[in-house]
Chain A
Amino acid sequence: MFNEILTVWSSQPGISATIWLVLLVFVAYLARNPAHALIHSTGRAIYTACRLFATSLRHLETNLLKRNKEVVLALGQEACERSIEREFHRVNAVVTRDLGAYPALHRQISDTIDKIEEDYQAATDAPPLPPAWLEAVDSIASIPRTGDATVCTILDNIGETLEGAHQETQKAYRKSTLERHKLLGAMQPQWRNLGQSLTRVKDTIDGLEERSIEIDRQMKSYETIRNAEDTVTRTLSSSSLTQFFISTLVLIIAVFGGLINFQLIAMPMSEMVGGTSYIGPMRTSDIAALVIIMVEIAMGLFLMESLRITHLFPIIGSMDDTMRKRMVMITFSILAILATVEASLAYMRDLLALDREALTQSLAGTGVVAQAEFRWIPSLGQMIMGFILPFALAFVAIPLESFIHSLRTVLGMMALSLIHAIAFTARLIGGSARQLSVMLVSLYDLIIMLPLGIERLVASSIKRKQKPDTAEQSSSTYMEEQS
């Protein structure tokens, strides 16, 4: 077909091809203006479409950026609220535990102070007064002895009486001082008790002060989040990314744990549900083993939710405490039952493996299998693993929650990057299309350069011819005017 077209003008392909070329160039020359218009308009259309697409993507990017920021701030706000709530719970615990008994403590301190006051009053130092007549007796006793023996005797008796009274007063004073000392001695433990009570109160107050400092700090960060500052958004995004990677790592570990768990129970499960039935391409026993593992993970989720460690299901978190405690008990019981089932399945797996090994050896003709000495160790190990793994898997709820929360941020960031890249590509394509249209116009002219050159030559010669004529015409007109 091609050869027929090529040799339509002449039997020699070269000549025929040249004729075709000349014809094509001529046709292209004739169609120059519409072709230029077509190329220009196509380039412009692609450019405009791409610009429009890029602009709409930019709008989408802005909206997504805003939405991402809102989400990140909401997550940060929620986390901050949770930690403030936790601080208040701690304060509440301190107040309930220590300051709840404050009225009793206050009464105890008041009683101690009253007692100390009473003791103090009782221990007041009151020196005994000498009898009122003692001064008169002292004056009489101090009268000089003039020699009368009777008078001297009387005066001596008076002096002795005076001395006796003084001695008695001294004795009474000593006794009362001793009693006072005893009272003061009894006051010592009460002082100590008072001191200890006050120390306790001080410790409590100090603890509350620390909590209040922490609350202040949390409140400050809460305020910055509420003010939606860019630095906070960046910090929270970075924190989300970190959370995402850590939770992903832990989830991968959990997946491996789940696989080990699956291997432990899949084979013995065929003893329970049969080893020949299939659901799709999978054995029913394998599906049953997977279901057990999934149920364990679900129970773990509910348990963590009921304990308010995770917050994936608001309906569980908002339950009243009695119902929540019941739920904890139920989920924990189911988990424990499943763990026991798994432990028994793991043991059965060991028995089956042993039986299979014995059969294989008997088929191979190696005789009866000798019982290994420490065969019970792997059996026990499998049972323990079967019991522990369900509880370990229950904790998957914690990284799962972090993963879900951080995934939204990460997906948002990825979507932003993707939209940005698409917008950039669209702009690039638009600009390239416009430049390409200019290049194509030049290329078009390059192909038809021969007729174009001829056209230019013809046009310039016509111009040259027209110019002298015009000059002659103008000079003759000038001459006519002058004349």
Chain B
Amino acid sequence: MKKLILAMLLTLGLTACSEPRSNARAVYLLLDTSGTYTAEMDKAQKIINYLLATLDSGDSIAIARIDSGSFSEKDIIARVTFDDRPSTANQQKRAFKDQIDEFVEGTKRGSRHTDITGGMLQASEYLEETGAGEKYVLIFSDLEEDLKKGHIRDFPISLPDIHVVALNVTKLRSDNIDPRDYMERLGLWEKRVYQAGGTWDVINDLERMDRLIAQR
């Protein structure tokens, strides 16, 4: 009996001492600003607004652009971790929205190249730093990577416990000629993400954004 009580106390102690899992969520949205994707910014704005309405106090959000070299802090357009108090969090959301609106208005010309891998590496770094319990990387792009000459990205990346969602993956002109290109592109990214330790999902219909992140 004494042993049983001792074992129970020990288990209780160990459970109490173990680091609790964070309940916060962190979202990193990569916006493709290359070529024709600048015309899709209004859709991106809708996604950001949805995220702002869904995220709560303690959650983090960062918006970054995908350009010729995306593995850089300079590409982060806006980032915030919402305050503990709901009223302050609401003010932060308003300010964040204003920042994004300003960016969208200022984006006229797209970048020449598309460095998605660099953006994902940057996202992984940011999400790891937040220490959130649920981590999401949202990619608003056609997933066609077009690297600048000399940039090396063909190595395994690390996305541990990160849920990657590709949003609004538009079909290219060549995809219409041979749809297998589109399938291959998606398959390639899916494989890369799973190999990196993450999970993969695609949402093309923006009316189904409720699938995007877990609601509370």
Contact = CB atoms under 8 A, between A and B. Distances in A.
B86 A271 contact: yes
Give chain B's interface secondary structure class: helix
Contacts of A181: none
A263 to B, nearest CB: 15
Contacts of B57: 270, 274-276
Contacts of B20: 278
Nearest to B46: A365
A364 to B, nearest CB: 7
Contacts of B24: 276
A359 B20 CA distance: 32
Given A359-B90, A359-B94, A362-B94, A275 B85 contact: yes
Interface in A314-333: none
A189 to B, nearest CB: 77
A355 B84 contact: no
Interface in A347-394: 352, 355-356, 359-360, 362-365
B87 interface: yes
B93 interface: yes
A355 B87 contact: yes
A267 interface: yes
Given A275-B58, A276-B23, A355 B90 contact: yes
B52 A363 contact: yes
Interface in B96-126: 97
B67 interface: no
Given A271-B85, A271-B86, A352-B87, A278 B53 contact: no
Contacts of B130: none
Nearest to A277: B84
Most buried by B among A271, A275, A278, A355: A275
Interface string A328-352: 0000000000000000000000001
Contacts of A360: 53
Interface in B76-99: 84-87, 89-90, 93-94, 97
Contacts of A274: 57, 84-85
Contact of B86 (A267, A277, A278, A362): A267
Nearest to A364: B49
Interface in A250-306: 267, 270-271, 274-278
Interface residues of A, number: 17
Contacts of B87: 271, 352, 355
Contacts of B94: 359, 362
A352 B50 CA distance: 19
A264 to B, nearest CB: 15
Nearest to B56: A275
B84 A276 contact: yes
A275 B84 contact: yes
Given A270-B86, A271-B85, A352-B86, A363 B97 contact: yes
Contacts of A276: 23-24, 57-58, 84
Nearest to A275: B57
A275 B89 CA distance: 10
A359 B53 contact: yes
A276 B89 CA distance: 11
A276 B86 CA distance: 10
Nearest to B58: A276
Contacts of B52: 359, 363
A363 B90 CA distance: 11
Contact of A270 (B50, B53, B84, B97): B84
Contacts of B56: 275
Given A362-B94, A362-B97, A275 B49 contact: no
A365 B49 contact: yes
Nearest to A356: B90
Interface in B118-156: none
Contacts of A356: 86, 90
Contacts of B89: 275
A362 B97 CA distance: 10
Interface string B1-24: 000000000000000000010011
B63 to A, nearest CB: 14
Interface in A45-92: none
Contacts of B86: 267, 270-271, 275, 352, 356
Contacts of B84: 270, 274-277
Nearest to B88: A271
A363 B53 CA distance: 7
A98 B192 CA distance: 97
Contacts of B97: 362-363
A267 B90 CA distance: 14
A450 B3 CA distance: 60
A435 to B, nearest CB: 41
Contacts of B49: 363-365
A271 B89 CA distance: 10
Nearest to B52: A363
A363 B94 CA distance: 9
A278 to B, nearest CB: 6
B1 to A, nearest CB: 25
A363 B93 CA distance: 9
A103 B156 CA distance: 108
B101 to A, nearest CB: 11
B25 to A, nearest CB: 11
Contacts of A278: 20, 23
Interface string B46-84: 000110110011100000000000000000000000001
A270 B85 contact: yes
Given A275-B57, A359-B94, 15 more contacts: A267-B86, A271-B86, A274-B84, A274-B85, A275-B58, A276-B23, A276-B57, A278-B20, A352-B87, A356-B90, A359-B53, A359-B90, A359-B93, A363-B50, A363-B53
Nearest 7 interchain pairs by C-beta? A276-B58, A274-B84, A275-B57, A363-B49, A363-B53, A276-B84, A271-B85
16 contacts: A267-B86, A270-B85, A270-B86, A271-B85, A275-B57, A275-B89, A276-B58, A276-B84, A355-B87, A356-B86, A359-B53, A359-B94, A362-B94, A362-B97, A363-B97, A365-B49
